[in-house]
Amino acid sequence: MALPPLLHLQGIALTFGGTPLIENAELSVSPGERACLVGRNGSGKSTLLKIAAGLIEADRGKRFVQPGATVRYLAQEPDLSAFATTMAFVEAGLGPGDDPYRARYLLEQLGLTGEENPSQLSGGEARRAALAQALAPAPDILLLDEPTNHLDLPAIEWLESELKSLRSAMVLISHDRRFLESLSQATIWLDRGITRRMERGFAHFEAWRDEVLEQEELERHKLDRKLVAEADWLRYGVTARRKRNVRRLANLHAMRQEARDHKRSIGTVSMSLTEAEQSGTLVVEAEKISKTYDGRPIVADLSLRILRGDRLGIIGPNGAGKTTLINLLTGVIQPDQGRVRLGSNLQMVTLDQRRMSLDPNATVAETLTGGRGDTVIIGGQAKHVIGYMKDFLFSPEQARTPVGVLSGGERNRLMLARALAQPSNLLVLDEPTNDLDLETLDLLQEMITDYAGTVILVSHDRDFLDRTVSSVLVSEGEGRWLEYAGGYTDMVAQRGQGVQARTVEKEAKPKSGEKTTPAQATPAAKRKLNFNEQHDLKTLPKRMSEIEAKIAKLQDVLADPNLYSRDPGLFEKASAALSAQQDELAAAEDRWLELEMLKEELGV
């Protein structure tokens, strides 16, 4: 006999700005049940979870919570401003009978001390504190909205284990496939304002979704409907993409086997012969490179060769130096020791963690074409902007839509489309999966697997790594990096364990009966960021965005092919200004990177 639900939403409807967002949604959670809530960005998942938490009142429908049942909700953007420390914030969520020691345990497991000032927390640190507050009371119902956002691999795997150990019922929203597959027992699909429920975990969702959509399409034909609208193509196109990706995954396995065979044979070939055979195929060659920041090794004596067509994933905990390593391999910064040799005729496109800025007033088509004409040059060939938009799941009607009104997922797709439209043979992606919905992740996976050049990417998404890369470079601590053939799962099988959290050395405590020296009795005060460093760390991201916007405007001016003949003075002035702004941006990025590394090292 099924247990009565702890939480039940029935017939929920909500309208925003005259447009129905949710029309007829249901959500039922029984004791101990773990369900995932899935749907495209903008479908109303977060809104439905807020209704379940009692934070938003629906226009229509019923919300029932069993009397006495405790509900805890994790928001995507937690607010800690009313608390003096992270410990005070977490303890505020405890009830009279809750264990106060669990608050400290959770903070420590999430890499926090409890003494942090909330006003100085990064987005990831605030997220960890909010997770600790939600988990500390062991509530009857946990409502978690993107709990893995801004977490590194060790933290994600710890969270999985912790949630599995709880007896709480849960509703999870996440773009992390592996996380959902590991935890969910039921799947609730919010699509076009209504919910469908499957009594199986997320691992079975995509096949089930495809069956539902194919059945809907069949019904349309039975009713002699006209051609499916472009808006429906956007939905049904996902089904075909998934099936193509199954074949791509098989091809990737073959590529990984080739990588294993290649790595085994490469050591038997002399350097001179290898260079002769690889003429025109070498992309990056690092020879015993090392890089240190403030005495801490980020990269130590690394030798690595990346060949044309390789897909290299770089993984490690936060603070391991993944972004620094990418910058070393691509020549953005120079190593302290060793050398990096880049191949000839490289054309590199980079999508970093901060992403490219988008003009909110420009239309989707103008963003992709630069405001010139109605074609995009892809692979040396002109393609109509509407056709290119459809590749990224945009409908033709959105061509004239201002960027400012797009959803978060749509803006992410647009940034990817603009980056991938640039001619390149080396694609460098730093955390490309951040804040992407599942459909956009499918699209990005397709773009990477179809890409003819070389890919270097940093990601904490285990499933995405398994689907895209042919080898991974893993941080082993103390600046040591080791390459494994295959994806994340292959690496774990070879290594015997996943990625471990980065540890910070602590003062050694004397053993019982051991005399302490004056130095041991009075350790030096812990180094902290000074006022200027804190100010730069806080203001540099905005400053870099402003500089990038200026660079974009200057590049638009210089893009006019008739500018030099029409106004040589303006051309020279704009060229000089562009060079100055690019130098200023490089200096700001170096300073920001230096401070971020220092902040992580100090554990601030």
Minimal CA–CA distance to 413: which of 382, 380, 390? 390
**Is 40 part of any known ligand binding site?**
yes
Is 39 assigned to a binding site? yes
Strands 282-293 and 381-384: unpaired
> Letter for the amino acid at 327?
N
The answer to whether the annotation marks 45 as part of a ligand binding site is: yes
- Tell whether 413 is in a known binding site: no
What is the spatial distance between Cα 73 and Cα 135, in angstroms, rounded to a whole number?
10
The structure tokens 């609730």 sit at 188
Q: Is 383 annotated as a binding residue?
A: no
41 is in an annotated binding site: yes
| CA 157 and chain centroid, separation | 16
Cα–Cα distances (Å) from 373 to 309, 321, 384, 492, 559, in that order, read 33, 42, 9, 49, 13
Query: Per the annotation, does 553 bind a ligand?
Result: no
Does the annotation list 521 as a binding residue? no
Give the count of alpha carbons within 13 A of 372, CB side only. 9
d(CA 561, CA 47): 48
The dihedral formed by the CA atoms of 366, 368, 374 and 375, expressed in degrees to the nearest 10: 160
User: Would you say 317 is a known binding-site residue?
Assistant: yes
323 is in an annotated binding site: yes
CA 273 to chain centre: 40
321 is in an annotated binding site: yes
Residue 150 is encoded by which pair of tokens? 């801004």
Is 54 annotated to bind a ligand? Reply is no
What are the start-end ranges of the E strands in 344-390? 348-351, 375-378, 381-384
Helix (H) or strand (E) holding 575: helix 568-602
The answer to whether 539 is annotated as binding is no
Alpha helices in 397-486, H assignment, sequence order: 408-421, 438-450, 462-468
251 is in an annotated binding site: no
CB 135 within 8 A of CB 110: no
Positive or negative: CA dihedral 123, 35, 237, 441: positive
18 known ligand binder: no
149 annotated to a ligand binding site: no
Report phi then psi at 321, rounded to 5.
105, 30
- Encoding tokens for residue 170? 């849960």
**100-109 vs 123-135: helix axis angle to the nearest 10?**
150
d(CA 80, CA 78): 6
Enter the tokens of residue 84: 């003096």
Q: Is the dihedral of CA 439, 440, 441, 445 positive or negative?
A: positive
Binding-site residue positions for ATP:
39-46, 316-323
Binding-site residue positions:
39-46, 316-323
